[in-house]
């Protein structure tokens, strides 16, 4: 991994306290263009908190987050509101699925287009040609993205009626609709059966190529993590305890003790 590419995400000694609890402690991370990076660690290690700090949902206690599209200068994201971070090009899914449950599958993805469209109240009332064109483009784009994740047959259904695995894929489609350069997936395979997990892996690889994406994923399925990731970061008790290629992580004694060992016992 010694490429001369510049990172698109740089996180410097990020920390987050919840009262007395230090959920994140001095975590560093960088992600290169088109890299798939995994973030692993036992439950409660602070992985989701890391996502929330980078995407602006939590304000980090200390540390800096810098990000920018390939070839552009990095921008500091501390203190930027979540919706502006999304507009900037960071998109995410949620560990505990957060779909707009009574809206249709298509509408869920259409909401993702919000930052890339601009029709306002007056345009909605007068329905000029710009409004109609944009509306149709939104619908078409959303439908296309549903095709990418294999949900186009369900486009009219309510999101809450989809099976679990499909809901996770819908969250991915919705995140893609915001035109991100960096995608955060929080336990995308949780609750999926082995078949779906394999399909998910292929989907992630395909999306990276097609959308020129970098992907950071939190995942417990070790098979998936090892075969999918270019690099892996390991966290425990809020701290980063190791990072490196899958091969390096597999043989890191600290990791084996902290994480892999534990999961083998289970």
Partner 1 sequence: MFTAKRLIRSFLIGVWFMILVFPIVGIKIIKRAPEFFYDRVFVIGIITFVLAMLWSWYFEVYKERGVSDGIFSKISQKCSALSEKVTHDKSTAMKLILVLFAAFMVLPLFTSMYQTTVYSLAFLYVMLALGLNIVVGIAGQLVLGYAAFYAVGAYTYGLFYQYFGLGFWVCLPIAGFITVIAGLLLAFPVLRLRGDYLAIVTLGFGEIVRLLLINWADFTGGNQGISNIPRPGFFGIELSPEGSTIYIYYLCLFAAIITIVIVARLINSRVGLALQALREDEIASEAMGIDLRKVKMAAFALGSCWAGFAGVLFAARNSYINPTSFTFMESAMILSMVVLGGMGSIVGVTLAALVLALMPEYLRAFSEYRMLIFGLLMVTMMIFRPQGIIPPAKRKYAPTALKNEENN
Ligand X SMILES: Nc1ncnc2c1ncn2[C@@H]1O[C@H](COP(=O)(O)OP(=O)(O)O)[C@@H](O)[C@H]1O
Contact residues: partner 1, CB under 8 A: 55, 57, 81-83, 86-87, 91-92, 94, 98-104, 106-107, 110-115, 117, 119-121, 123-125, 127, 131, 134-136, 138-140, 142-144, 147, 155-156, 174-175, 177-178
Number of neighbours of residue 91 by Cβ within 10 angstroms: 25
Among 64, 72, 98, residue whose Cα is nearest residue 175? 98
Q: Is residue 110 classed as helix, strand or coil in its secondary structure?
A: helix
Pairing type for strands 239-244 and 231-236 reads antiparallel
Map residues 76-115 to x or -, x wherever contact with Mg ion holds by CB under 5 A: -------------------x--------------------
Token match 């294999």: residue? Answer: 150
Are 169 and 151 in contact, with CB atoms under 8 Å apart?
yes
Distance CA 51, CA 20 (A): 20
44 binds, among partner 1, Mg ion, ligand X, none (CB under 5 to 8 A by kind): ligand X
**Strand, coil or helix: what is 236?**
strand
Taking the C-alpha atoms of 166, 225, 73 and 141 in order, what is their torsion angle to the nearest 10 degrees? -20
Regarding 59 and contact with ligand X (CB under 6 A), the answer is: no
What string marks each residue from 23 to 62 as x (binds Mg ion by CB under 5 A) or -?
Answer: -------------------------x--------------
46 sits near ligand X (criterion: CB under 6 A):
yes
**Contact call for residue 45 and ligand X (CB under 6 A):** yes
Q: Exactly one of 7, 15, 40, 41 binds ligand X (CB under 6 A); which one?
A: 41
- Note whether 66 and 244 are within 8 A (CB): no
Nearest to partner 1 of 136, 227 (CB atom) = 136
Contacts to ligand X by CB under 6 A: 18, 21, 23, 41, 43-49
Contacts to Mg ion by CB under 5 A: 48, 95
């Amino acid at each position: 991994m010694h490429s001369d590419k510049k990172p698109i995400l740089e996180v410097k000694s990020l920390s987050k306290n919840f009262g007395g609890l230090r959920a994140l402690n001095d975590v560093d991370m960088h992600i290169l263009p088109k890299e798939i990076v995994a973030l692993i660690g036992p439950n409660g290690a602070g992985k989701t908190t890391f996502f929330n700090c980078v995407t602006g949902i939590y304000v980090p206690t200390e540390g800096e987050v810098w990000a920018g599209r390939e070839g552009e200068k990095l921008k500091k994201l501390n203190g930027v509101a979540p919706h502006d971070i999304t507009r900037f090009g960071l998109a995410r899914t949620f560990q505990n699925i957060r779909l707009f449950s009574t809206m249709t599958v298509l509408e869920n993805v259409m909401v993702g287009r919000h930052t890339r469209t601009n029709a306002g109240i007056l345009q909605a009332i007068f329905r000029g040609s710009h409004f109609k064109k944009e509306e149709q483009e939104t619908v078409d784009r959303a439908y296309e993205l549903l095709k990418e994740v294999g949900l186009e047959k369900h486009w009219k259904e309510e999101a809450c009626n989809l099976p679990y695995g499909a809901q996770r894929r819908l969250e991915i489609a919705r995140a893609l609709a915001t035109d991100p350069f960096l995608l955060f997936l929080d336990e995308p395979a949780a609750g999926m059966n082995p078949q779906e997990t394999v399909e998910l892996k292929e989907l992630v690889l395909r999306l990276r190529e097609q959308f020129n994406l970098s992907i950071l994923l939190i995942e417990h399925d070790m098979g998936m993590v090892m075969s999918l990731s270019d690099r892996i970061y390991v966290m425990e008790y809020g701290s980063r305890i190791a990072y490196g290629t899958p091969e390096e992580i597999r043989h890191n004694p600290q990791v084996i003790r902290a994480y892999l060992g534990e999961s083998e016992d289970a």
